[in-house]
Chain A
Amino acid sequence: MKRILLLTSLLSCYSYAYGNEPVRIGVLSFASPDTVYQRWAPTFDRVAADTGHTFSVLPLTPGELQESVANDKLDFIIGNALTTVTFKKDYGVSNLLSLVPNYHSDPDHAVGSSLITRSSLNIDDIGQLSTMSVVSSDPNAFGGFQILAGELASHSINPFKDFKKLTFVGFPQDKLLNLLLDKEADVAILPSCVLESAIEKGIVPESALKVVLQKEEPNFECAVSSSLYPSYAFSKLGHTDHVLATRVVKSLLTITNKDKEAIYGRYQYWSAPVNDREVFRLLRTLNRWPFVTNWEFLLKGAVPWVIGALILLLLGYLHHLRVKRLVVLRTRALSSEMEQHKQTQKELFEQQKQFYKAQRVLLTGEMASGIAHELNQPLAGIRYLTQGCLYRLTPEQGELNSALNKAIEQVDRAQSTIKRFRQFCQQPSVYEQCDLKSLIEETLNLMAPEFKRMHLSPKLSLERVTTIADISLIQQVLVNLIRNALDAMESEPVPQLGIQLLVEDKQAVIIIEDSGIGLSEEALNRLFFPFETSKEKGLGLGMVICKRIVEEHGGQIHAVNLIKGLKITVSLPIKEQQDV
């Protein structure tokens, strides 16, 4: 857009902030900037002469005007009532003067909107408009469109949506009248007095067009279809110096309707600001309708919110990322824990397997040993008796002699078979460094399910003792003793098990005390004999195995009845590596 700078002769007798800078007057313009400039230039030439300042008149489109106001690029503005009120609301622009245009002597009611159509068309109801082809010059034009839009809004009509055809054709306004005459449009929305002025100028035949849906306005010279609103207003921006403003206003107020400035500017004179309550109401009405929403302004207002929302979204996203990361970490930790657990379980299972294998081997050995013993006794008897017979033979009984000797040989053969069988079943022991405390703990761990089943947690008092022993054999002893203790307490309501490990006299002493049924004196005496059992399905080898293992380690095992329950004491000599 062409900017025209007006430089007028100036007498710089005042020196304040503006200095030589021209005072900028923004004028709202829809039509060509030249027209607008020519309308207002004479007025401000006069003001320049009166105040000694340079003025530049800048015709601006509504968008440009708003941008300039928002950025304080102007000092004064001339705009229609709605623009002025809008800026007043949004940017604190203060209304200094209202324009009293030609024809109208009441500045409060100086402009309205007219619905113009051909004389042949009849429009009695505002609703009829929706079926017609409507033209207007600009959606932002105050008299031309916005006032009528306000009227429509109060009838709940949205011209953008509800009109069959709505076209904005721009300026000059006479163009719209020609469209009506050419039947290219049915209705034109124009400011008041445009038709009257066109008829006066002879552009339009007198009775070809008419104003419809007229409102009764007795003191208004032209026909209008809407309420009337104030005309142009002269306003100052917030930053503009009040001394300057006062001077400008003083100068403007001296203009009368006879002056050439008023004639060029198509007005009578400037008056004090009018009542703009109606305009505010219109603005509110229009703001409720999206078709006049000041998008740019809303956007600017929304920017902080949008930024806030974006920051929130970003924070949310970051939080999401963090949570995701935490989930990943936790999952990893959990899976490694699970892996570890699995490993532990596997180890435990392996331990159990080893334990049962060792137990099987031991049991087999002990069974072989037991059977061997049981067979050995009668065989020994047979041999003794046979040899006793031999000793009693008389020399005449030589025949019997060889038979009895053969019987002895048979016995010896049986004996050696049993002996070989026993040796075969005996497992060589593996002696190594053995931490008895952790062995006991490990054993309890191994038997944890049984403790859980009995809701029993043993009372432990374990010293750290290390000796040389066959770990798997000692574990057999521990498991046998603890299991016996548990079995003895099977029907006890409150089972109690105490396990102690202490050092006494260079001996590692393991004491296992239960609160079970105990043993009879006789059973206690035969506790360590094979095939002696009080258990229904027992083999009677457990305690035999224990005794044999303990003795093989050079230790001792004793059982004593307590007042309630049984106390088993196992003592093992503490050996160092070199002792073995």
Chain B
Amino acid sequence: MCDIYLVDDDQDVLDSLSWMLDGLGLKTQSFLNAASFLSAVDINHPGIAILDIQMPGMDGIALLHHIKAAASPMSVIMLTGHGTITMAVQAIQQGAIDFLEKPVDGDKLSMLLAQAKEVSLQSHEDLRLQSEIEQRIASLTPREHEVMLKVLEGKLNKVIAAELNIAQRTIELHRQKVMQKMQVSNAAELAYLMAKSEE
């Protein structure tokens, strides 16, 4: 459900870390560089990436930037041989869950992984919901969208009818259609949904 990806240019370190996590019952996939990671993994799925910073080609910070720029639900943990404060700040600002120094303690990492998993899933769920709401909105006709915006403003049917200069009955039909398409039962639920999608 939530894969763990290790990216490090040192095969031995990669193997040993993978073996340790395996001892904790966590399955991992290893990559020697950013390019092979990106070509093998769909970053739109939830997952956890543990990235080394110093790597040939695209380095860890750049990969983090790439992942975050693609609006991926993936959680990223930076794991570096020698980090500087500047690097750490940069990583956190770019959206890394944490910035760790090698070697990281297995227990600490497993706790962090659990947390990262939740974040990733949540983030994935949010993204999914978001896109669903967007799909629902997209299914509205322009008139229905217009009516929905008026409804969200808290206006009564007759006010909307007057403003749009159409029959109140027609407004009622549009309103019914909106509720149906947005999969809500009343205006309050609709407002909640829209607010959530705008987070």
- Asked if B13 is at the interface of the complex by the 8 Å CB criterion, the answer is yes
Q: Are B20 and A380 in contact (CB under 8 A)?
A: no
Q: Are A369 and B82 in contact (CB under 8 A)?
A: yes
Residue of A nearest to B23 (CB): A391
Residue-by-residue, is B18-30 near A (CB-CB < 8 Å gives 1, otherwise 0)? 0111111000000
Residues of A contacting B142 with CB < 8 Å? Answer: none
Instruction: Return B126 CB to nearest CB of chain A, in Å.
Output: 32
Q: Are B56 and A387 in contact (CB under 8 A)?
A: no
Residues of B contacting A503 with CB < 8 Å? Answer: none
The answer for the CA separation of A433 and B108 in the assembled complex, in Å, is: 44
Q: Are A376 and B20 in contact (CB under 8 A)?
A: no
- Asked if B17 is at the interface of the complex by the 8 Å CB criterion, the answer is yes
Q: Known interface pairs A372-B82, A373-B82, A377-B12. Does A385 touch B20 (Cβ–Cβ under 8 Å)?
A: yes
Chain B interface, number of residues (Cβ within 8 angstroms): 23
Residue in A369, A378, A384 whose beta carbon sits within 8 Å of that of B19 in the complex = A384
- Asked if A383 is at the interface of the complex by the 8 Å CB criterion, the answer is yes
Q: Known interface pairs A376-B102, A377-B10, A380-B102. Does A385 touch B82 (Cβ–Cβ under 8 Å)?
A: no
Residues of B contacting A378 with CB < 8 Å? Answer: 12
- Asked if A330 is at the interface of the complex by the 8 Å CB criterion, the answer is no
Q: Are B19 and A388 in contact (CB under 8 A)?
A: yes
Q: Are B23 and A380 in contact (CB under 8 A)?
A: no
Residue of A nearest to B25 (CB): A391
Residue in B22, B56, B106 whose beta carbon sits within 8 Å of that of A529 in the complex = B56
- Asked if B154 is at the interface of the complex by the 8 Å CB criterion, the answer is no
Q: Are A390 and B23 in contact (CB under 8 A)?
A: yes
Q: Are B16 and A385 in contact (CB under 8 A)?
A: yes
Q: Known interface pairs A369-B82, A383-B103, A551-B86. Does A526 touch B56 (Cβ–Cβ under 8 Å)?
A: yes
Residues of B contacting A389 with CB < 8 Å? Answer: 23
Residues of B contacting A422 with CB < 8 Å? Answer: 82
- Asked if A179 is at the interface of the complex by the 8 Å CB criterion, the answer is no
The answer for the CA separation of A56 and B104 in the assembled complex, in Å, is: 144
**A372, A379, A381, A552: residue with the most chain B Cβ atoms closer than 10 Å:** A381
Q: Are B57 and A384 in contact (CB under 8 A)?
A: no
Residues of B contacting A377 with CB < 8 Å? Answer: 10, 12-13, 81, 102
- Asked if B54 is at the interface of the complex by the 8 Å CB criterion, the answer is yes
The answer for the CA separation of A331 and B22 in the assembled complex, in Å, is: 85
Q: Known interface pairs A377-B12, A525-B57, A529-B56. Does A384 touch B81 (Cβ–Cβ under 8 Å)?
A: no
A-to-B contact residues, CB < 8 Å: 369, 372-373, 376-385, 387-392, 411, 415, 422, 525-526, 529, 551-552, 554
B-to-A contact residues, CB < 8 Å: 10, 12-13, 15-17, 19-24, 54, 56-57, 81-82, 84, 86, 102-103, 105-106
- A-B pairs, top 7 by smallest CB distance, nearest first, are A391-B23, A380-B103, A388-B20, A384-B16, A383-B103, A387-B106, A381-B16
